[in-house]
Amino acid sequence: MMNALPSPFHPGEQQIQSQLGVREQVENVGQRFIRDYMPGDHRQFYSQLPMLLMGSVDKSGRPWASVLVGRPGFLNSPDPHTLEIHSRPIFADPLNENLAQGVNVGMLGIEYSTRRRNRLNGEVTRMGDGQFRIGVHQAFGNCPQYIQARDFEFLPAVDQIGETRPVRPVHRFDERVRKIISQADNFFIATHFSDNSGDANQGVDVSHRGGKPGFVRIDDENKLTFPDFSGNYHFNTMGNILLNPRAGLLFIDFEQGDLLYLTCSAEIIWDSEERRAFAGAERLVRFTLDEGILVENAMPIHWNFIDYSASLDQTGSWDEVEAKLHELETANVYHSYTVAKVKRESEVITSFYLEPKEGSRVGCHKAGQFLPIEIQPPGTSSPIRRTYTISNAPNGSYYRLSIKREPPAQPDLPPGMASAWFHDQVTVGSTIRAMAPRGKFTLDESGSRPVVLLSGGVGLTPMISMLEQLIKDSHSCGRSRPVWFIHGAINGKVHAFDRKVRELASDNPCLNVHVRYSQPAEDDIEGKQYDSTGHVDMDLIKSLLPLDDYEFYMCGPLPFLQSLYEGLKDLKVSDERIHYEFFGAGATLLREQPGKTVGLAENLADRPPVPVRFARSAKEATWDPTKGTLLDLAESEGLRPAYSCRSGICQTCSTVILAGEVDYLESPMTAPEEGEALICCSYPKPPCGDDEVVLDI
């Protein structure tokens, strides 16, 4: 329920919050922590700062980001609603022209040594000789993410603020400007929105952005792009740009003291291949230069670098983006990886850590995706292709494949052949060939709802990857989400990752764990290795979870998924909150395709029925979109065609087409031989007349 008080966020901020599913959550937080006055600790904080960032707007409506400098005490708060500034703007700073009584300004106090920062927006209420006063409209604190630690020492020029400095206009990014931008590990951005209503949630904002050196990319002589990482979900900057696509940027050269002021048009890029390839980026923002000013040797403070923010460990670089995009271009090419580590997780599951060969990189993946691999065990005439879930969250260093030893099931090509080869033959130093990661069963990292991870048996492998990612995200400001990890296994002998999950739970209050064994062994201790006896079912879930709006992710065999899915639907959980992946045959026979696993029935609803004949089995059936793929149709008739990945990758299901034609919802990675079809991901093309599709099954 939204608070009845006026919102601290304007329509642009609210629109983005709604777009990303955090509107109500952020509104509730904003009502508590965004104030129309400065708390006592904020007032004290400003008084100890050597500089203040300020955003203002010129007569043409263009935002500019500026910096004010002075010895601690040059900022003073005589009362909670007022900030006094006893300093002049630096020579040639646009603030010299923009500052006037009655104008709106945005302010940011930042203390590099402690990574603390507070924001303040307000109005200039008084101007005097070398000082002015701000009336507070909004005040709130920010988290310390992406701030690089620095300490400082004053230069003599601090006592001569406003003295003449060398200045030159910037109309394009020349060599000097490029050097300042390309070396920057932070910058400041001013934005502005007002509909002249006078609402306190409107006006000028100035914010900090940080990243690894080079995180701001120079696209050409007048364009820049930077990755916008996760923050406090206020979207003050993005909300302003959404409604008024202009921005002022300030780059500080910490080595030489130069100040680079830019005012630009701005564009938010919500999604692109580049954005997806840039680790940690939730969107990109592109700026086109309108006007710039470079003031040389203007900062009267010498800054000493201490260390980078730990938040940067989860972010990428433009070089990595370029490499990842190149990998995407060659995604269907097998690359060689070295097995760097082999770890037994249980009696039936072993993890294999794959690192790229020297000179190559680990391709980007999302938590939950799988890796297509190609092997050729001794005695086989041709390579075997399989897919195995990557059981670790993305880390840029390795893939972990946690593989269960499968028992033989088919005489001609048993599913256990590849897993047995891994368990019996693969050692440290072995070479594995793999394509780029893929798969649509992935964690939605932009969500804000509590997450429930449900798994049975080896179905825990994507859950472990998602769990690692959620825990990693929880260490970022505003990203912590309650997580329930609920897993079912036979007993402790086959239960993998039990110690790892318990350790994560002990270190992270946001994580709740419940493990259920169906047949506990004699040495399994309830309350230690497992929490209850039986199967993971809806009664267990209802007993564990308080009433709330969850995102459910499920992986396991078909009966496990079927019962949980039907139970969740009985509780009125909507399809978009349920995401699943299966192992074993027939999972696409679920009556509905939940979550983001898009089914044929939804995409091909207008396709007419098509008769299908399985020649060798002398069986006939009628296909329609509700029957799923041709493999699903065959299985519904009691047939057992060979398959492995059910994703159009391994070609195990390739079948000769004796008559008719097929089509694909998505083109398979590797096309089958002429006259054959990958029945795991294909469906009949509508025939001309009464023709049928005939398969050699």
pLDDT digit string (tens) for 640-675?
887 766 777 767 788 999 999 998 877 776 778 889
* pLDDT at 440 exceeding the cut of 90: no
Q: What is the mean pLDDT of residues 555-564?
A: 89
Q: How far is CA 94 from CA 57, 98, 173, 505, in A?
A: 9, 6, 19, 52
* pLDDT at 316 exceeding the cut of 60: yes
Domains and CATH numbers, the chain: 11-320 (2.30.110.10), 330-434 (2.40.30.10), 451-597 (3.40.50.80), 603-695 (3.10.20.30)
Query: From the CB of residue 451, how many other CB atoms can be counted at a distance below 10 Å?
Result: 22
Max CA pair span of the chain? 97
Please name the helix (run of DSSP H) or strand (run of DSSP E) that holds residue 248, with its range, or none: strand 246-252
DSSP codes joined into one string, 604-644: -TTPPPEEEEETTTTEEEEE-GGG-SHHHHHHHTT-----S
* pLDDT at 198 exceeding the cut of 80: yes
Amino acid at residue number 508:
N
Question: Which is higher by pLDDT, 602 or 204?
Answer: 204
Q: What is the mean pLDDT of residues 406-424?
A: 70
Q: How far is CA 389 from CA 352, 437, 440, 579, in A?
A: 11, 9, 12, 16
Query: From the CB of residue 589, how many other CB atoms can be counted at a distance below 10 Å?
Result: 15
| pLDDT recorded at residue 589 | 43
Please name the helix (run of DSSP H) or strand (run of DSSP E) that holds residue 30, with its range, or none: helix 23-33
pLDDT digit string (tens) for 598-630?
345 556 767 889 999 999 999 999 998 878 889
| pLDDT recorded at residue 245 | 98
Average of per-residue pLDDT values in the chain: 89
Q: What is the mean pLDDT of residues 159-186?
A: 95
The secondary structure of 36-48, three-state, reads: CCCCHHHHHHHHC
* pLDDT at 360 exceeding the cut of 70: no
pLDDT digit string (tens) for 240-267?
999 999 999 999 999 999 999 999 999 9
Q: What percent of the chain has pLDDT over 70?
A: 92
Of 44-53, 384-393, 520-529, 599-608, highest mean pLDDT = 44-53
Q: pTM of the prediction?
A: 0.68
Tell which residue, 557, 556, 551, has the closest CA to residue 574. 551
Band the pLDDT of 170: cuts 50, 70, 90. Answer: very high
**Chain centroid offset of residue 234 CA:** 17
| pLDDT recorded at residue 332 | 67
- When mean pLDDT is compared across 207-216, 522-531, 578-587, 590-599, the lowest value belongs to 590-599
- When mean pLDDT is compared across 321-335, 475-489, 590-604, 613-627, the lowest value belongs to 590-604
Q: What percent of the chain has pLDDT over 90?
A: 66
* pLDDT at 484 exceeding the cut of 90: yes
| pLDDT recorded at residue 486 | 98
- When mean pLDDT is compared across 65-79, 288-302, 352-366, 543-557, the lowest value belongs to 352-366
pLDDT digit string (tens) for 571-597?
999 888 999 886 644 444 454 443 333
| pLDDT recorded at residue 393 | 93
